[in-house]
Structure 1
């Protein structure tokens, strides 16, 4: 049976665990019962918010995928066999005891990096990173938007949802936007770290359209809340606004 270990170090927000969670589910869907997948996490707080079935325990199985903590791995490294293929998500640190075993027992380690539109990633994608191991080979996987990059990872569940929404646009607009949505309205979503969104708001108010922003994530919401506390928007005409500090 094939085996895959994915290492994920959650720093903040939901980007790290979000990508790894979707990747693990897609690999399980693709290979079904012919693969054993384990995800090794440094903590569970963000994961519990993404999936309500996640418990505050060190080792658990959800939808055929085993999720374990780094602490569990460290305690059980003597009886822990590394997978055939390992994914090191976003340059996280793989436990040294595990890595030493993997150099002797595993075949492939992929360093999965962040999505980028920069040209330089084309030179790095697929490049080998020498490890001094007899068996284990390590390569860089650089997601990007060109044919020379690793491409954009879009899982099948996302594509299915997208197709369903496109076929039933009116239904979903009414369900999620209610009376707020109007034809030709510009709708955008924002998910980010803390940021000053005042330049964005100013630009949107000049586009001669009605705009709707879907603000997601705690850090993004906090940024908008702080922005709205410190400014007052006064409408002067149909397409002219002024901001005043308060």
Structure 2
């Protein structure tokens, strides 16, 4: 099965991260996969061995620096084209596809869906207005009737193994010895003043691992001092350690070893689910707090403690206060049980890669 995956990076690490994971899982499932991506620099943050060259092979995956649509003409002989996150193709490409004796199956991989409409829209076809070609909407989601969730084979078992051994990470000589360990990966709008106060003015010693980017800048604003990767500072009962950007495997290690993970977007949200540890999710901020509807839909999907419901609502509204964080921290044991219960439910379902390949194999056989 030959599959071409097209990625135009919009939300920096999230878009590239999802496409990188999916491409590797397709390879592991036995497919031949080519990833065309417009920003090699973003992908290189997740795959440090990536070279800045037009075409390369990385662990069996062909990667093409997608700088113009004419490059896609080399992909015409594929069994499937997957356009990720509404990336479209040039009209000449559509025309070339339509002229093929056996055009590839066309998919539009959407963002993670949580709302009630997902099941009714997933798998539906859109007819291209000039060529008549069909493009199937593939919507990842949490229900069996959705497009599924990315989950590589053996991931949960590896998390259980990792939990027995403190992780060794770049920028961190020894795993912290603290009462509570938290990780922070967020957007610039995250209301962190209440979190910093709740942790720094506490009888328990907390250790906060902060990743580069807007989250590190947001912490710097709260503390009123510049911070940079590898830096370690102390404030009351809180230590803040600024980590470098990690690859996917090391990030998974952090998620599985922390007592609470503050995550953003969709890729890190899903990885936090598979880690089976309490999480606080910041959805991608939208005008007029439109993203809060997605947060509410997600909260309605899973068992979650009242304190974490309230914190999620206020955190995404930008109004979370110290008392909201304190209440959630006091509920960590309950929340750990609930997230692991939800993870077990999700693990009973087939994953996104399996569902996509099953659909592709069925439809190709019918052509």
Q: Same fold (TM over 0.5)?
A: yes
Change (3 A) 1:114 1:78: closer
Residue 80 of structure 2: aligned partner: 85
Which has the larger displacement, 207-216 or 220-229?
207-216
Contact 1:58-1:72 at 8 Å conserved across structures: no
- Displacement of 1:3: 0.9
- Which among 176, 179, 183 is matched to residue 180 of structure 1? 176
Deviations 1:74-114 (A, max 9, x none): 2x556552521111111122333333323344331121111
Change (3 A) 1:78 1:5: closer
Residue 238 of structure 1: aligned partner: none
Change (3 A) 1:97 1:158: farther
- Which among 119, 141, 146 is matched to residue 144 of structure 1? 141
Residue 183 of structure 2: aligned partner: 189
The answer to whether residue 7 in structure 2 is matched with residue 5 in structure 1 is no
- Which among 221, 236, 242 is matched to residue 216 of structure 2? 221
TM normalised by structure 2 equals: 0.53
Deviations 1:15-74 (A, max 9, x none): 11111111111110111xxx3311111121111222222222111111111111222652
Contact 1:17-1:46 at 8 Å conserved across structures: yes
The answer to whether residue 122 in structure 2 is matched with residue 128 in structure 1 is no
- Which among 28, 36, 51 is matched to residue 55 of structure 1? 51
Contact 2:193-2:222 at 8 Å conserved across structures: yes
The answer to whether residue 24 in structure 2 is matched with residue 30 in structure 1 is no
Which has the larger displacement, 83-92 or 113-122?
113-122
TM normalised by structure 1 equals: 0.75
Q: Which runs of 5+ in 1 are unaligned?
A: 236-240
Q: 1: CA distance between counterparts of 2:152 and 2:143?
A: 18
Contact 2:23-2:61 at 8 Å conserved across structures: yes
Q: 1: CA distance between counterparts of 2:141 and 2:202?
A: 29
Q: 2: CA distance between counterparts of 1:64 and 1:138?
A: 27
Contact 1:39-1:68 at 8 Å conserved across structures: yes
Contact 2:200-2:236 at 8 Å conserved across structures: no
Root mean square deviation, CA, Å: 3.3
Per chain length, whose mean CA-contact separation is higher, i.e. which structure has more relative contact order (CA < 8 Å, sep 6+)?
Answer: 2
In our comparison, the structure showing a higher alpha carbon Rg is 1
Number of equivalenced pairs? 226
Change (3 A) 1:200 1:140: farther
Residue 71 of structure 1: aligned partner: 67
Q: Which structure has greater strand proportion?
A: 1
Residue 188 of structure 2 aligns to a residue whose secondary structure is: coil
